[in-house]
Structure 1
Amino acid sequence: MIPESLAESDLSGKELLRLAYVLVDDLVLLDGNPKLHDLGKISDSIIENGFLDPPKWDVNLNGGQGGIVEGNGRAETLKWMQDQGREVPRGITVNEQGLWAVPVIFGCDSRSEIAAKRYAIDHNNLVMAGGNFTALDMSKAYDAEAYIAMLQELQEQDNLPLTTDASDLETLLNVLNGQSESYDDDESPESFKEYGENIGTDYTCPKCSYS
């Protein structure tokens, strides 16, 4: 049932979104997309819950040829599932040739390709912006070099994402160049200092005088 408020609204002349089913094979991903995806986990979620989160198309991407601005991982996963002969999930339809069709959001395109790329980054990062995540934390969701390359491209056009400023980019560059903390918090040093109960330390306990 359509909500009464929507049914009575005058939507003519508005810049609106529309949903249309497109063959999975016709979807074009964002060229140079730095975002990393766990296709297996995405596939598990789609199988369990159905396909509930349509990707968004932007006409400005890929040099004006258009492409997916948000939902590249989901689109890639559906293509993989189709090619693997998986069961068709809820929310996906199949044509007479047995090819999958996926719902895609169209409309409200960005003002330019640069603006679309900025939105692509922000769409991912804003999910983490409500938590205690630093720019370095957010960057771990991306291929480091590809992410920085896209941020530098955006910076050159004075169009950095809302979730990343110039100081954040400088920090990421320092990390990539080995001038700051590593991306891998679990990385162990090549060797540890010698340890033993009889080895003296530079610290003396103020209560028991043990050193």
Structure 2
Amino acid sequence: MPLAAPRYISYIPLTDLAPDPANPKSHEIERIIASIRDHGFVETPVADERTGLTLAGHGRRSALIEMQARGEQPPDGILVDDDGGWLVPVTRGWASTDDRQAHTLLILLNRLPEAGGWRPGPLAAILEDLATSDPDLLDSLCFTDEEMENLLRQVDPETLAQGPDGTHTPELDPYDHDQADTGDNERGTNVSCPACGHLFTPGR
């Protein structure tokens, strides 16, 4: 006997993906549109079976509506029906017990991803790899100079000894004697910014 999936993905008309009027989250629609253009439609919205309203994905919904209004081609991950309407994948199967629970989850689904912050070492390694291999992808992440400086001040140079592929070595200034190998396994004191090459001393 086949198992009934409590959660499933269903393609529905974009026009049927109703927003929740109580949604308190604002969005940078142009950044979402750029991401969808670059990578396709990856993260599916979530709908509440009780209300029929969107729980997560208001920004993605608005971005798709704007892209369609501009006459753009449907991005990867979006289907088109016989009338030319866009069909969007939606996670279904969860139903709230009341509006308070629905609104709590509406906020949590936005709050939880940002709550943990970033692990500075792995993040810096990925950003440096992008800076040297595909600057356009780095630019698409929209890290400000201040964010990059704050990140690099938290990074131990030893954590950047290898990039995400295990082979990349960060750029260090060969003329900076403070970075030179001491021969006794002591680490250098400076690390270069993956975006601009500027040297920072972590912890200062």
1:1-20 equivalent positions in 2, closer than 5 A: 12=3, 16-20=6-10
Distance, in Å, in 1 between the alignment partners of 2:101 and 2:75 is 33
* 3-state SS of 1:19 partner: strand
Unaligned runs of 5+ residues in structure 1 are 1-9, 133-211
Distance, in Å, in 1 between the alignment partners of 2:94 and 2:22 is 22
The question of whether the paired residues in 1 share the 8 Å contact of 2:20 and 2:55 is answered with yes
Instruction: Provide, for residues 45-101 of structure 1, a one-character-per-residue CA deviation record: whole Å limited to 9, x for no partner.
Output: 0010010101000023xxx3x210011110111111111111210000111111111
- The structure number with the bigger radius of gyration is 1
1:111-190 equivalent positions in 2, closer than 5 A: 111-131=97-117
Q: Which residue of 2 aligns with 1:97?
A: 83
Q: Which residue of 2 aligns with 1:26?
A: 16
Distance, in Å, in 2 between the alignment partners of 1:84 and 1:48 is 17
Q: Which residue of 1 aligns with 2:37?
A: 47
Superposition deviation, residue 11 in structure 1: 6.0
Which shows bigger deviation, 108-117 or 73-82?
Answer: 108-117
Identity %: 34
Q: Which residue of 2 aligns with 1:80?
A: 66
Unaligned runs of 5+ residues in structure 2 are 119-204
Moved over 3 A (4+): none
Against the structure 1 CA distance between its residues 124 and 11, is the aligned structure 2 distance closer, same or farther, given a 3 Å change threshold?
farther
Against the structure 1 CA distance between its residues 108 and 26, is the aligned structure 2 distance closer, same or farther, given a 3 Å change threshold?
closer
Instruction: Provide, for residues 172-191 of structure 1, a one-character-per-residue CA deviation record: whole Å limited to 9, x for no partner.
Output: xxxxxxxxxxxxxxxxxxxx
Which one-letter code corresponds to 2:3 in the other structure? S
Which one-letter code corresponds to 1:124 in the other structure? N
Which one-letter code corresponds to 1:35 in the other structure? K
Q: Which residue of 2 aligns with 1:35?
A: 25
* 3-state SS of 2:67 partner: helix
* 3-state SS of 2:94 partner: coil
TM-score by length of 2: 0.54
Superposition deviation, residue 12 in structure 1: 2.8
What is the total number of aligned residue pairs between the two structures? Answer: 118
* 3-state SS of 2:83 partner: coil
What RMSD over aligned residues (CA atoms) do the two structures have, in Å? 1.7
